[in-house]
Chains A and B, each alone.
Chain A
């Protein structure tokens, strides 16, 4: 029960919920982009990245970095 939580816990819960909603959106973008790029790479473009195998992990990080640069305000 939410009412049983302390104020600090409630604040944490709200933040965590916001994080979850952001994470859902981000995860779907990363998942879709990764799948498409891997499919496209198999068809037309390079399947290597700096001569390394194009792993899902490398690709996901690449996408996340690009996403970060697009949604985070420049400091």
Chain B
């Protein structure tokens, strides 16, 4: 028996199809052919009859009267529908259950493994080619003690200092404590500078440094630490360096003056750099090349950068400048005047580097995906049914790995951001290709992407409808006249 609603909707749809000269012909020996031909005795209908009525009545069973009671006797069509409905329900329920409870879980496991791997691996961006540091003069250089004492060296001209043998310096020598002045406010600033300095301050005191190789900002730290050390040594004369007290004092005075003068020069140089609008410290590495994968360190004067930003500048203009020039001497006005040229240059370099990076990125993604996939298979514990299936299909897993690796090899840069699609393909389409899971899960995914308000259960329902319709459409020939 066909229900009234099925008959009515089918009649309406049939009118549309027929008007477009389409005929639906069930293929031979199919369920649809069996159902459509069963009990259908009315090959020709009365011109005045309603198709829905005809359908409803054609497949109906008969009602018999027995001892005053009426009994419905099922038609052959009724029996077929009942039997097939039960069988197909069990089958589809099994498919959906397997798709959701086994395949989808494995899709999620693979996705999580891949996501974890990707998160722990940091892809480089073109901007990562630069390690940018911003330098701001520490308050210690502006403190009263430094300011007052160092100003006295403005006309000091001694150019060599007396070397000291520091090999006798105690191994537990605490430089940070030794250089303190006894003035609490001043010492707090000195400690703050000592702890924040990126430079190896103890080695600035204990080792011979090629002073000419020091940048402006390194020279500031180098001069100050030595100045403070010899200042304390002169006051305390308490370190046994194998010298007489007189010699120790003499060296301490000479070196204090030397480093005081050096600090005056370094500060003066720094102030000039800032005054002239310089952006890059001369310690910056400007040997940029996008072929060189190693990041280069650049140090930007923070005070001037703030001014540069106020005038419409940004760090990409500086990147563009470095990709054109190796000079550190550029200033704010040069950069602002030529900012379009530098920005354009950076965009070109960036694009070239992105092409190169993307190739690496794709290779790394593929490698991580292969590892995640192999690991998800290794971690998975098969159900008894799966074990049975694999034992009957000895090469299945081997073939699966081969197909998955082939799939991964063919991935392009444009694909690799869609992790959901990739993991669904690998697990549902390839690994569980002996099931209908891919069809069901893919439909669910597409339905859920259409609207945020659709929940997974509702999507599963729509997906089931699509799956069943697809199943029956496969049993049809759609003939266009």
Contact A71 B36 (CB under 8 A): no
Which residues of A1-32 have CB atoms within 8 Å of chain B's CB atoms?
Answer: 5, 9, 12-13, 15-32
Interface centre among A15, A31, A39 (most CB of B within 10 A): A31
Given contacts A28-B2, A44-B96, are A66 and B16 in contact (CB under 8 A)? no
Q: Which of B17, B40, B92 contacts A22 (CB 8 A)?
A: B17
Q: How far is the CB of A50 from the nearest CB of chain B, in Å? A: 7
Given contacts A22-B17, A28-B35, A71-B478, are A17 and B24 in contact (CB under 8 A)? no
Interface size class, chain A: 35 or more
A27–B458 Cα distance when bound, in Å, is: 24
- B19-42 vs A: 1/0 string, CB under 8 Å? 010111110000110011000101
Contact A23 B465 (CB under 8 A): no
**Cβ of B14 < 8 Å from any Cβ of A?**
yes
Q: How far is the CB of A52 from the nearest CB of chain B, in Å? A: 11
- B68-81 vs A: 1/0 string, CB under 8 Å? 00000000000001
Contact A35 B14 (CB under 8 A): no
Q: Which of B24, B32, B81, B464 contacts A45 (CB 8 A)?
A: B464
Q: For chain B, what secondary structure do more than half of its interface residues adopt (helix, strand, loop), or is it mixed?
A: helix
Q: Which of B89, B96, B469 contacts A63 (CB 8 A)?
A: B469
Q: Which of B15, B44, B89, B455 contacts A46 (CB 8 A)?
A: B455
Contact B473 A26 (CB under 8 A): no
Contact A66 B465 (CB under 8 A): yes
Q: Which of B5, B15, B85, B86 contacts A19 (CB 8 A)?
A: B15
**Cβ of B160 < 8 Å from any Cβ of A?**
no
**Cβ of B181 < 8 Å from any Cβ of A?**
no
Which residues of B225-240 have CB atoms within 8 Å of chain A's CB atoms?
Answer: none
Q: How far is the CB of B150 from the nearest CB of chain A, in Å? A: 78
B481 (CB) vs chain A CBs: closest residue: A18
Q: How many interface residues does B have (CB within 8 Å)?
A: 65
Contact B2 A15 (CB under 8 A): no
Q: List, in ascending order, chain A residues with CB within 8 A of B52's CB.
A: 23
**Cβ of B175 < 8 Å from any Cβ of A?**
no
Q: List, in ascending order, chain A residues with CB within 8 A of B394's CB.
A: none
- A26-61 vs B: 1/0 string, CB under 8 Å? 111111111111011101111011100010110111
Q: List, in ascending order, chain A residues with CB within 8 A of B7's CB.
A: 23, 27
Contact A37 B469 (CB under 8 A): no
Q: List, in ascending order, chain B residues with CB within 8 A of A48's CB.
A: 457-458
B475 (CB) vs chain A CBs: closest residue: A29
Given contacts A19-B14, A44-B93, are A57 and B476 in contact (CB under 8 A)? no
**Cβ of B108 < 8 Å from any Cβ of A?**
no
Interface residues, chain A, with chain B CB atoms under 8 Å away: 5, 9, 12-13, 15-37, 39-41, 43-46, 48-50, 54, 56-57, 59-64, 66-68, 70-73
